[in-house]
Structure 1
């Protein structure tokens, strides 16, 4: 394995920094917006286009909030969102750093839109821990689409069989394996040692 691809949400990042609860747990209390209303009016209708780079998050969210929560600015909700979905698994990061120090290149492989991808790399400083990021809005396809894995492999510049991958979603693992990556589903209690051993088996 020359490259390890690492998923973000559910692997590296686990909800609110203070307690690990889902990011929108207290959305209504904090910002006066019901989670289900946001889900139905924004995520259900627009998220696929946003996360694959065909639409932009801030103007689309501003349009939706103008109808369902005119008291709330899009940027305030985005800041709340990103800040409340940023609890890093520092133990895993330390293990990844040790593997990287041994010569394995590290990339994030994640379904993200452009603003959060930048937040992950710049604000959370993951750019100092990874050699780069392959994300859905930049690739135009989201996991588990075959095109995501094909484009990430092409841009990595090495054969698929040389790539390892950890992700918490079974469908993504299966798609990666079908493309030729070595992949292990990340679950509570998983360790990087388990993954490396599985890739070598």
Structure 2
């Protein structure tokens, strides 16, 4: 394996920094908006276009909030969202850093829109820990679409068989294996060594 692709949510990042709870656990208490209302009006209807780069997060969210929570600005909700979904797995990051120091190239491979991708690389400092990021809004396709993996493979310039991948979603693992990447599904208690062993099997 010359290169490792690493998913973000559910692998590197999970929940609120203070306690690891889901990011919107206290949304209604903190911002006066019910989660089920937000999910129905925004996440279930708008997210695919935003995550694949066909629509922009802030203006679309502002439009939705104008209907369901006019007291709340899109920027306020975005800041709350990103800050409460930023708990990093530092043990995994240390293991990844050691692997990278040994010569393995390392990229993020994630379904994200543009603003959060920038937040991950900038505010969370992942740009210093990875050689780059492949994300759905920039590629125009989201995992598990084969085009996501094809474009990422083309851009790193090596054969699919030389790429390892860790992700928590089974459909993404199946798709990458079909494409030719070596892949392991990340679950609670997984370690980087587990993945390296699986890639070598």
**TM-score, scaled to structure 1:** 1.00
Q: Distance in 1 between matches of 2:160 and 2:30?
A: 45
Deviation of 1:107 (Å): 0.1
Does the residue aligned with 2:39 lie in a helix, a strand or coil?
A: helix
1:1-201 equivalences under 5 Å are 1-201=1-201
Cα distance in 1 for residues equivalent to 2:156 and 2:112: 18
Runs of 4+ more than 2 Å apart: none
RMSD: 0.4
State the secondary structure of the residue aligned to 1:19. coil
In structure 2, C-alpha distance between the alignment counterparts of 1:94 and 1:76, rounded to whole Å: 32
CA distance in 2, matches of 1:176, 1:156: 15
CA distance in 2, matches of 1:199, 1:140: 28
Hey, what's the Cα distance between the residues in 2 that align with 1:53 and 1:32? 29
**5+ unaligned residues in a row in structure 2: which ranges?**
none
Q: Distance in 2 between matches of 1:43 and 1:130?
A: 29
Q: Distance in 1 between matches of 2:36 and 2:56?
A: 21
Residues of 1 paired with 2:103 and 2:52: CA distance? 31
CA-CA distance at 1:179 after TM superposition: 0.1
Tell me how far 1:200 sits from its aligned partner. 1.2
Q: Distance in 1 between matches of 2:27 and 2:157?
A: 42
Report the Cα distance in structure 2 between the residues aligned to 1:151 and 1:189, rounded to whole angstroms. 31
Tell me how far apart the structure 2 counterparts of residues 55 and 135 of structure 1 sit (CA, whole Å): 15
How far apart are 1:137 and its partner, in Å?
A: 0.2
| Cα distance in 1, alignment partners of residues 41 and 191 from structure 2 | 38
Following superposition, the deviation at residue 168 of structure 1 comes to: 0.3
Quote the offset at 1:45 in angstroms: 0.9
Residue segments in structure 1 that go unaligned for 5+ positions in a row: none
